[in-house]
A and B are shown apart, each in its own frame.
Chain A
Amino acid sequence: MVNGADTAFILAAAGLVLLMTPGLALFYAGMVRSENVLGTIMQSLIMISIISLEWIYIGYTMSFGPDVAGVVGDLSMFALHGVTNAPSETYATTIPQTVFMIYQCMFAVITPALITGAFAERVRFAPFAIFSLLWAVLVYNPVCHWIWGGGWLAGLNVMDFAGGLVVHATCGVAALVAVMVIGPRKGHGHTNFLPHNLPMTMLGTGLLWFGWFGFNGGSALAADGIAATAFVATHLAGMAGMAMWTALEWIKLGKPTTLGAASGAISGLATITPAAGFVGPNSAVIIGLIAGLVCYLAVNFKAKMQFDDSLDVVGIHGVGGITGTLLLGVFASKAVNPGGVDGLLAGNISQLGSQLIGILVVCGYTFVVSLIILKGIDHFMGLRVSPEAEDQGLDFTEHSETAYN
């Protein structure tokens, strides 16, 4: 039975989640050098086109179509066959299935866009586009099915409210593989890669934060108390993450920075994502504080390792998504969400085990498949631009445009 309030809320939430992709484009573009701004924006922006099309033809049916052995959905809903304004019998039973389909589409769009921060400023557009498409089909769709589409991890009681595993852990692990396969930017370690426009990054942070209310709040799939719980938890964790990162930086470096504040906010938001609808406000603050600490340490560790994850996808999204997935097993409470689970603090140790299995399986699978895709594309097409093009910047060499004249 279609509920009008639920439908209106999820349609609005879908719009909010869409906004995160151009928001992410600005977030990333501000951190690169001025000759790579449009190349960086394009890598996020084009996902809206490529992945939306992929989603309606095979993505949705692979993720949410009738289950085949717990592994993947079958192709019976190819090109949205049978996806109508009647609710699905299995998912989101109070909204038209078209609404559920387009809401989930926006998650599929932003996930490969998140990976692009790891290999910013050095990858050719054509192989990048093919990588993203293959990755969406071979990594995102199956993992989405395993956890949200009634697949085998859902059967093992692995919980993920809004995408700590499905979105953040997968993009973080893929980012790690990409950095290993593609290698550092030319001059890494002695050239300066200063962010060219941090106000642009701050604008992107604001749009991401705003969109995250749709991402997490909408994942209740209804306009109800769980949506409100997730909305509040999201805001509080982002706020706590920002406070923690800023404070750490202030103590260690003597000055608080805007990029630090933004990084802390995104850390908190990514980390609360899997737990948002399962935890109360006080737990959300603690999760946000832990997120700020852990992601700060991860990013600083990367700097010491001389590892060129250019815009910190691994340290913030990967580490945040995994941390939040584990913390769900600690802080989740049926008193907050009767349809959810109890975590360690509510006396249930087994949930932590389920979460750990989920992390190992999703990260392991993502690592192997991402490695195969990237190695294959690199072998046949070559992922990197030429050293001359890298000096000139992607804006001109890949797109024949310049951001600033």
Chain B
Amino acid sequence: MKKIEAIVKTFKLEEVKEALTSIDIKGMTVTEVKGYGRQKGHTEVYRGAEYVVDFIPKVKLEVIVPDDMVDKTIEMVVEAARTGKIGDGKIFIIPVDKVIRVRTGEVDNEAI
């Protein structure tokens, strides 16, 4: 099992969710986050004074999938989240030792 952590543009969340639902991924966790990458934020101007905004709002979504679903999931996220412009985000894949469903006590693939 892997955790797929994707940081994407906020307005792309809905499309990514629909793409993942279409390949039968049943749940996800979404967090509003702020950060920057190589582009180093952006500049806003108020009454002539320039401010560099370092941390740009993004959403982070986390899904846990069986190993055989990893490549397909990544493909769907990339396809849905890509605009081709700077700041489209990143995807991280992290191994998961164990999953337990609290209500029933089911474990691992049955609990996803």
Chain A interface (Cβ within 8 Å of chain B)?
192-195, 249, 253, 255, 257, 259-260, 263, 296, 299-300, 303, 312
Across the A-B interface, give the 7 residue pairs with the lowest CB-CB distance, nearest first. Answer: A300-B48, A303-B49, A192-B51, A303-B48, A299-B47, A259-B46, A253-B45
CA distance A255 to B51 in the complex (A): 15
Q: For chains A and B in complex, what number of residue pairs have CB atoms within 8 angstroms?
A: 27
| Other A-B pairs beyond A192-B51, A194-B46, A257-B46, 9, CB < 8 Å | A192-B53, A193-B51, A253-B48, A259-B46, A299-B47, A300-B48, A303-B47, A303-B48, A303-B49
B32 nearest CB across to chain A (Å): 16
Main secondary structure of the interface of B (DSSP, over half): strand
Q: Could you mark each residue 70-101 of chain B with 1 if its beta carbon is under 8 Å from any beta carbon of chain A, else 0?
A: 00000000000000000000000000000000
Which residues in A have their C-beta under 8 angstroms from that of B68? none
User: How many angstroms from the CA of A53 to the CA of B17 in the assembled complex?
Assistant: 61
Contact partners of B46 in chain A: CB under 8 A: 194-195, 257, 259
Interface flags for B37-56 (1: CB within 8 Å of A; 0: not) read: 00000001111110111000
**Using Cβ atoms and an 8 Å threshold, which residues of chain A touch B51?**
192-194
Interface size class of B (residues with CB under 8 A): under 10
Complex CA distance for A379 and B39, rounded to whole angstroms: 47
A sample of 24 inter-chain contacts (CB < 8 A) reads: A192-B51, A192-B52, A192-B53, A194-B44, A194-B46, A194-B53, A195-B46, A253-B45, A253-B48, A255-B45, A257-B45, A257-B46, A259-B46, A259-B47, A260-B47, A263-B47, A296-B48, A299-B47, A299-B48, A300-B48, A303-B47, A303-B48, A303-B49, A312-B47
Q: For A253, list chain B residues within 8 Å (CB).
A: 45, 48
- In the complex, the chain A residue whose C-beta lies closest to that of B53 is A192
* A-side interface mostly: helix
- Nearest Cβ in chain A — how far from B55, in angstroms? 10
A77 to B51: give the CA distance in the assembly, Å: 52
Collect the chain A residues with CB atoms within 8 Å of residue B45's CB. Answer: 253, 255, 257
A266 → B minimal CB distance (Å): 11
Bound CA–CA A249/B51 (angstroms)? 16
Question: In whole angstroms, what is the CA distance A257 to B45 when docked?
Answer: 9
> Bound state CA distance, A193 and B44, in angstroms?
11
Q: How far is the CA of A253 from the CA of B44 in the complex (A)?
A: 10
Residues of B within 8 A of A296 (CB): 48
**In the assembled complex, how far is the CB of residue A34 from the closest CB belonging to chain B, in whole angstroms?**
15
**In the assembled complex, how far is the CB of residue A345 from the closest CB belonging to chain B, in whole angstroms?**
32
Residues of B within 8 A of A263 (CB): 47
How far is the CB of B104 from the nearest CB of chain A, in Å?
37
CA distance A255 to B46 in the complex (A): 11
B35 to chain A, nearest CB (A): 16
Nearest opposing residue in chain A for B49, CB measure: A303
* Residues of B contacting A249 in the complex (Cβ-Cβ under 8 angstroms): 48
Q: How far is the CA of A238 from the CA of B49 in the complex (A)?
A: 23
Task: Give every chain A residue within 8 A of B48 (Cβ-Cβ).
Answer: 249, 253, 296, 299-300, 303
Q: Using Cβ atoms and an 8 Å threshold, which residues of chain B touch A303?
A: 47-49
Q: In the complex the two chains form, what is the Cα distance from A300 to B48 in whole Å?
A: 6
Smallest CB gap from A194: residue in B: B51
Among B48, B52, B53, max chain A CB count under 10 A is at B48
Give complex CA distance A193, B46 in Å: 10
Within the complex, the shortest CB–CB distance from A196 to chain B, in Å, comes to 11
